[in-house]
Amino acid sequence: MTNIPLSLPLGPLMVDLPATSLSIENIELLRQPAVGAVILFRRNYQNPRQVSQLVKDIKQLRSPSLLVAVDQEGGRVQRFQDGFFRLPPMHSFSKIYDMEPERGMELTESAGYLMAAELLETGLDFSFAPVLDCVNPLSTAIGDRGFHEKPSGIVDLAGAFINGMNSAGMTATGKHFPGHGGVIEDSHFALPVDRRSLSELESCDLIPYRALAQKLGGIMTAHVAFPNIEDSLPTYSSYWLNDVLRKEIGFEGLIFSDDLTMKGAHGAGSLLQRTRTALEAGCDMALICNNSPVASDLAREIGDSFSTNQLRLESMRASPAAINRDCSVIRKLLTSCV
């Protein structure tokens, strides 16, 4: 692997890797102008030492270095496990919160701090967390990943989790805008359709975004259709991304698409068409996952045709704080309480 970093602005694509180390083909992909970030999955992880080296290798390829992220929510969505604290599902904090709100928020804040502190030690920049969707027991995609059934509970608990992340030096990314909890289907495997009106969405799903927008560095879109509000999916909709999220809610951070290879995203044509549509609609960064050869072809096709807001991208970079809390104490506290 070359030791000379390529001087190149960060591009609008976030891609993944197939293994626990970089191949020549991976390096060629990550040095494409269209690439700006890497998302890691469980297949990329063996132990903290290995993943730290992988992150270091990724970051040595370019200047400024590529951003590196992971889904480390807790519960069933935690990519790094052995060597990391097994975070509980976020909904488990709601039971404590409902009885003792302040204690529930304190524990949730500690979980956010611990999650971020452990990841920052490996050199990662951020985790795609927290989930801001309203909890619906029937939702196969969200379920216990959400903090609470009530938007007020989400605001309190997710807000505390964000505070913990921030205090460790990690910015937060809320998902899935404008809401994935109102549908049963999982957009990985189908296109969920939510037939609620805008007023119904305003009464629940949009409340956390309005309340927490200024605390978030990033927001990820939902591949969910809202035909009684807008024809296009939020990922492909200037209405949702610019009119609602940017102008009405006032969000100034980075907008990520959810993975454009997911079944729920397929309605906008080829992967190239989906990517262009998402970026033109207002996404700052498009995720292309689980198909490295296709990602390589796409990166070459996109080239440098989309300029990216470098300040927004840089705002997602980790700024690790001095570790001023004993993580072993937090681990014991969470193990005994949740």
Q: How far is CA 280 from CA 38, 263, 275, 305, 306, in A?
A: 21, 20, 8, 11, 9
From 209, 262, 208, select the one nearest 235 (Cα to Cα).
262
CB count in 10 Å sphere of residue 126: 25
Q: Would you call 194 a catalytic residue per the annotation?
A: no
Convert the chain into a string of H (helix), E (strand) and C (coil): CCCCCEECCCCCEEECCCCCCCCHHHHHHHCCCCEEEEEECHHHCCCHHHHHHHHHHHHCCEECCCEEEECEEECCEECCCCCCCCCCCCCHHHHHHHHCHHHHHHHHHHHHHHHHHHHHHCCCCEECCCECCCCCCCCCCCHHHCCCCCHHHHHHHHHHHHHHHHHHCCCCEEEEECCCCCCCCCCCCCCCECCCCHHHHHCCCCHHHHHHHHHCCEEEECCCECCCCCCCCHHHCHHHHHHHHHHHCCCCCEEECCCCCCHHHHHHCCHHHHHHHHHHHCCCEEEECCCHHHHHHHHHHHCCCCCCCHHHHHCCCCCCCCCCCCHHHHHHHHHHHC
What's the token pair of residue 79?
Answer: 């990519």
Q: Which residue, 23, 28, 124, is CA-closest to 67?
A: 124
β-pair partners for 173: 218
Identified catalytic residue from 16, 186, 258, 284 = 258
Catalytic residue among 188, 243, 266, 297: 188
Based on the residue annotation, tell me whether 258 is a catalytic residue of this protein: yes
User: Is residue 172 a contact partner of residue 215, using CB atoms and an 8 Å limit?
Assistant: yes
- Residues labelled as active-site residues: 188, 258
